[in-house]
Amino acid sequence: MDLIAKWTKVYNLTAVRDANEMLTHHLLDSLAVVVPLRRELAKLALPETSPVVPLGDAMQAGGPRRFNLLDVGAGAGLPGVVIAITCPEVSVTCVDTVAKKAAFIQQVAATLRLTHLKGLHARVESLTQPYDVVCSRAFASLLDFTTWSKSALASHGVWMAMKGKHPDQELLALPQSVKVFHVEQLQVPGLDAERCIIWMRG
């Protein structure tokens, strides 16, 4: 949060300047996805016939498995940096078309010694490395998000789209090739607003 505030003075990373608002609207909002994300990663760590167990147990049972997560349109690193801090078993790449935002992510990775976090200045459409999870927060419509990032989604991977209110019209616009398997309501402490995750497969 201190790094975001420092860089925002020069590079305008976020419109939110108030510290309390930044805590609820950015950090707690991003933290709210960590438990759901760990649940989905636990499913990916196991054969489809296995019962779901906590991620830590799955990691021990099958040996260490590094997951790759791509945060699209990462901006100030939300939720990517928060996920990198809380989930050291996940390699996080934050991609943004704005060079200064990718540079900010690199600076955060160096300052906080997050060796599994990197900022990437690129268009998501150009990425072909497969990621287990491709996520976004307030980035684009579900149709644009999935269309632009489909080449970066592993065959077994999932999309995690963070949204505010239930995006009924956006869901209707999705092609049949995109399967929504869960719409998850989130409760963000101190934030009196609707939040949800749209979980999808290609």
pLDDT class of 61 with cuts at 50, 70, 90 = very low
Q: What pLDDT is stored for residue 49 in this prediction?
A: 37
- Residue 112, amino acid: L
CATH of 2-201, one of 3.40.190.10, 3.40.140.10, 3.30.70.270, 3.40.50.150: 3.40.50.150
Question: Can you tell me the distance from the alpha carbon of 175 to that of 93, in angstroms, rounded to the nearest whole number?
Answer: 27
The structure tokens listed for 61 are 């049972």
201 three-class SS = strand
Residue 75, CA distances (Å) to 72, 148, 151, 199 in order: 9, 17, 21, 21
Give CA–CA dist 197/18, Å, rounded. Answer: 25
Q: Model-level pTM? A: 0.89
Amino acid at 132: D
> Which pLDDT tens digit goes with each residue over 147-157?
999 999 999 99
Average pLDDT on 70-80 reads 93
In this predicted model, which residue has the larger pLDDT, 12 or 122? Answer: 122
Round to whole Å and give the CA distance between 128 and 200: 19
CA distances from 168 to 142, 165, 193 (A): 10, 9, 17
How far apart CA 188 and CA 202 sit, in angstroms, is 28
The pLDDT score that the predictor gives to residue 52 is: 43
**Domain residue ranges of the chain, discontinuous segments joined by +:** 2-201
Residue 47's pLDDT is: 58
CA 32 to chain centre: 11
